[in-house]
Amino acid sequence: MSKDIDEGSRARRRRRWPIVLLTLVALVSTGCLAMVLTTNGPGVGHFRTPAGRQTYTDAYRTAFAALPQPTETRDVETTFGTVRTYAWVNPRPVDEVPVVLVPGRASGVPMWGENLRDFLAHRTVYAFDAIGDSGLSEQTLPLRDMADNARWVEEALNALDLDRIHLVGHSQGGGLAAAVAVRHPERLASLTLLEPIMTFGMLPVWAIAWSAVAALPFLPESLRDHALNRIGGVEDSEVDPEDPMARMIAAGTRHFDSGNLPTPSRLTDEQMRNLKMPVYVAIASDKSLAGGEDAAKRAQRLPDATVKIWPETTHSLPMQVSAELDAELERFWAGVRRDD
């Protein structure tokens, strides 16, 4: 597991993305905690009010404006609802296998803003807003388990005529990508899991504890924000509430009810043995929600695994070290092509 990364670049990423370190980490934790504590069955994700939907949509569009203009925007039908999909077509890709991106909890497609341009330099890219989560997808039936969750991804890929892909998922999206790989391995040229929660290890106790504090509605907002900052590994002074991503995620958290999304499950030994495609696993060195070094060691038991612990990163690793990670992933995908 390599730990070689430029110190200056790493420090710049930590300063540039404090709000992402807060929100993506915290919302994954509180979302999973809610699944543990609730006794209600699965429901359908929805905005609580029309005004809340509009507030979120406006914030989403502002955050999305930082991304390259997509070649195509489609809403594709699946058993569980309509999936908002975007395509960025590279007219001269290095090969015909596209990259497909699955976001983390409450993040949506805009979370890939720091990575997308690097991917597009070499490949065609597709990205989804997840069904049952805040975003522009529309859920119509409950997702009972991770099999249902993987099914809508598979149906969306069919609708887009994507037969062979490099599948990439972050956080809860990493857990979902792993579930797709378990059930539909023939479609994947490779699998990339970036801090995938509940896939190789459990959530750490400290994250669950701070999430419990952050989820208490009767506490002052300042205390709940402090708890979220502790989860994200940032100081209160580092957080910029006017950051477009921050505003989007805050609006989604406030106005969207996820209806109890299925929680990713730990891969069994048999499932891991059956994942024979090349797999790249990135784990954060600090405040990892994927399980840290124990998860990395377990991931190395995959038949064809590249596992790396990225020094001085947290759960928001894809944004913190985007340039270095993107270059490494392109080398990984290029190696998959040579091995075919």
Which domains does the chain carry? 7-339 (3.40.50.1820)
Helix (H, G, I), strand (E, B) or coil at 304: coil
In which band, very low, low, confident or very high, does the pLDDT at 278 lie, cut at 50, 70 and 90? very high
**pLDDT at residue 247, rounded to an integer:** 84
Please state the length of the chain: 340
**pLDDT at residue 165, rounded to an integer:** 98
**pLDDT at residue 231, rounded to an integer:** 63
- What Cα–Cα distance (Å) separates residue 18 from each residue in 29, 30, 46, 59, 289? 17, 18, 28, 18, 17
**pLDDT at residue 277, rounded to an integer:** 97
- Strand segments (E) across the chain: 46-47, 72-78, 81-88, 99-102, 125-128, 138-139, 165-170, 188-194, 256-257, 279-284, 305-310
In which band, very low, low, confident or very high, does the pLDDT at 221 lie, cut at 50, 70 and 90? low
Determine what percent of the chain is predicted with pLDDT higher than 70: 79
**pLDDT at residue 249, rounded to an integer:** 80
Q: What is the pLDDT of residues 161-209, one digit of tens each?
A: 999 999 999 999 999 999 999 999 999 999 999 999 999 988 887 777 7
Mean pLDDT value across residues 213-237: 66
Q: Is 79 exposed, middle or buried (0-12, 13-18, 19+ CB in 10 A)?
A: exposed
* Number of Cβ within a 10 Å radius of residue 13: 23
**pLDDT at residue 29, rounded to an integer:** 40
Determine what percent of the chain is predicted with pLDDT higher than 90: 63
Q: Name the pTM for this structure.
A: 0.86
Per DSSP bridges, beta strands 72-78 and 81-88 are antiparallel
Question: What one-letter code names the amino acid at 23?
Answer: T
Mean pLDDT value across residues 118-137: 96
**pLDDT at residue 40, rounded to an integer:** 54
Helix (H, G, I), strand (E, B) or coil at 36: helix
Q: What is the pLDDT of residues 15-47, one digit of tens each?
A: 344 344 444 444 444 444 444 444 456 789 999
- What Cα–Cα distance (Å) separates residue 30 from each residue in 49, 207, 224? 22, 9, 12
Question: Is the model's pLDDT at 233 over the cut of 80?
Answer: no
Question: Is the model's pLDDT at 112 over the cut of 90?
Answer: yes
User: What would the DSSP string read from start to end of 244-269?
Assistant: HHHHHHHHHHHHEE---PPPP-PPPH
Q: Tokens 């990339």 belong to which residue?
A: 192
**pLDDT at residue 5, rounded to an integer:** 36
**pLDDT at residue 21, rounded to an integer:** 40
**pLDDT at residue 338, rounded to an integer:** 59
Of 230 and 283, more confident = 283
**CA distance linking residue 113 with residue 18, whole number of Å:** 15
**pLDDT at residue 33, rounded to an integer:** 46
Mean pLDDT value across residues 54-77: 96
Q: Which residues pair with 100 in a beta bridge?
A: 126, 167
Per DSSP bridges, beta strands 81-88 and 188-194 are unpaired
**pLDDT at residue 226, rounded to an integer:** 73
